[in-house]
Each structure stands twice: as structure tokens, then as C-alpha cells.
Amino acid sequence: MGKEIVYKDLGVIPYQAAWDLQTTLFEEVIARKVSNRKALPTEIQEQYHYLLFCEHPHVYTLGRNGKEEHLLLNEATLLEKEATFHKINRGGDITYHGYGQVVGYPILDLDEFFTDIGRYVRFLEEMVIRMLEEYAILGERIKGLSGVWIGKDTDNPRKICAVGVHLSRWTTMHGFALNVNTNLEYFKYIVPCGIDDKAVTSMERELGRKVDEAAVKLKLKKHFAVLFEATYQ
């Protein structure tokens, strides 16, 4: 039997509130892991794993290796665009989150799955690639770059899903952001992920129609469970 994962759809939630929740769960998972290593067999606690889906109001987040100059707005124009800005502890550079985007935050104790960060990132990408295939969209990887891309071998490669994670003691936080019906205008105000020679896209743009976000979440959940050999509580 696979591992059980607690799934929560947080709906629309401010970035800081979601980050605070992630941090709380992340620290709880690590604390249980540390406690279990010291415990007698009869005292071992069940470990919990989480998959959080949500949508954020307009926000730009800068990873620990990112450059602030990749945000092309100042405080006044951020306010004008009704957007906020956060420096965070995931890998990667700057990205945008907003309405019409499915954001996923897996909080997993990888000691109970596999201890391979490269494989973990590939599984997140593969989940999105398999979901896109159900919509007849060819999602691909580009060597040396994270995330999922469309038109890899064309003169217009474009990113549809960003991936950025943080691990401590083989416990994960942060995750992926998939553009479903996202307002892509907001990407014009950053150098997305520090990449200035490639575009961004969304499922809506690729298909020429609005996409049911609830259906997308169900498909992502399904593929996540298959890849991680898990079930949901």
C-alpha cells in the first residue's frame, strides 16, 4: 500500500498566509521525523505528508538565488498593479503567481518515498506533462532549465509551469505554479525565472479557450498519486 497524503484545496489565499501554513506543516513533519528517530518502536508517530493546492492574488516571489533587478516594478507600480513582493527560501529566481493559476505545495518526508531531489523535481514536471497530454498539449523539458515548456524545438519556446522547491532533512516545501487561465500580462513586469529569451504561456492561450481549473486539479492529483505511489486521506 502506498503512502497516504493529506490533500487540501486552500482556494484563493494571500501568499503570506499560504507560506505561513506551509512553514507550520513543514516544521511539524521535520519534528515528527526527528522524534521518531529517537523513539522506541512503541512510541513512533505516524508521519504525515501534504499536498496543498491554491490560487494567489497577484504576487511576485524571489528565490534565494534570484536577482532583485529581475523585478521591473518599484513599490509604487507594485501597488498600482495590486501586487505584492516576497523574498523566499525556494530555489530559482523570480516568478509570478496570480488568479487563474494552479499552485501546488507538496510537503513530503522524502525519507518515506525516495531521497533524490532530481527525481522529485522530475516527478513534479512529469505530473504536469501527463495532465497536459489529456488536453492534447505537448509539455516538454528543456535541458538545464526547470519547469514544463511548450514548443521546445521551435523558435518560440514558452514556459507553462514553473517549479521551485526547498528541502531540509529531506522534507519538501514550495512546489509548482501552472498557468491555466492566468493573465500573462503580469509576466511582462519581471524577467521570469531570470530567463530573458523565452516566453510564458497558459493552457488558455494554447487551447484558445478558458479551461476548467477544478478539472485540472483533479487530473494533477491523479497523476501525483500515481507517480508517488500514494493515496489521499
CA dist list (Å): 20 to 23, 83, 214: 5, 19, 24
- Report which of 60, 116, 119, 114 is spatially closest to residue 92, judged by C-alpha positions: 60
| Residue pLDDT, tens place only, 12-67 | 999 999 999 999 999 999 999 999 989 898 889 999 999 999 999 999 998 887 88
| Residue pLDDT, tens place only, 93-119 | 888 999 999 999 999 999 999 999 999
135: CB partners within 8 A, 6+ apart: 203, 207, 211
Name the superfamily (CATH) of residues 3-232: Bira Bifunctional Protein; Domain 2 (3.30.930.10)
> For cell 524577467, what's the residue?
191
193 is catalytic: yes
pLDDT band, very low/low/confident/very high, at 197 (cuts 50, 70, 90): low
* HSE toward the beta carbon, residue 15, CA cutoff 13 A: 20
Q: Please give the Cα distance from 139 to 15 (Å, whole number).
A: 27
From the candidates 102, 107, 148, 193, give the one annotated as an active-site residue. Answer: 193
Note the pLDDT of residue 66: 80
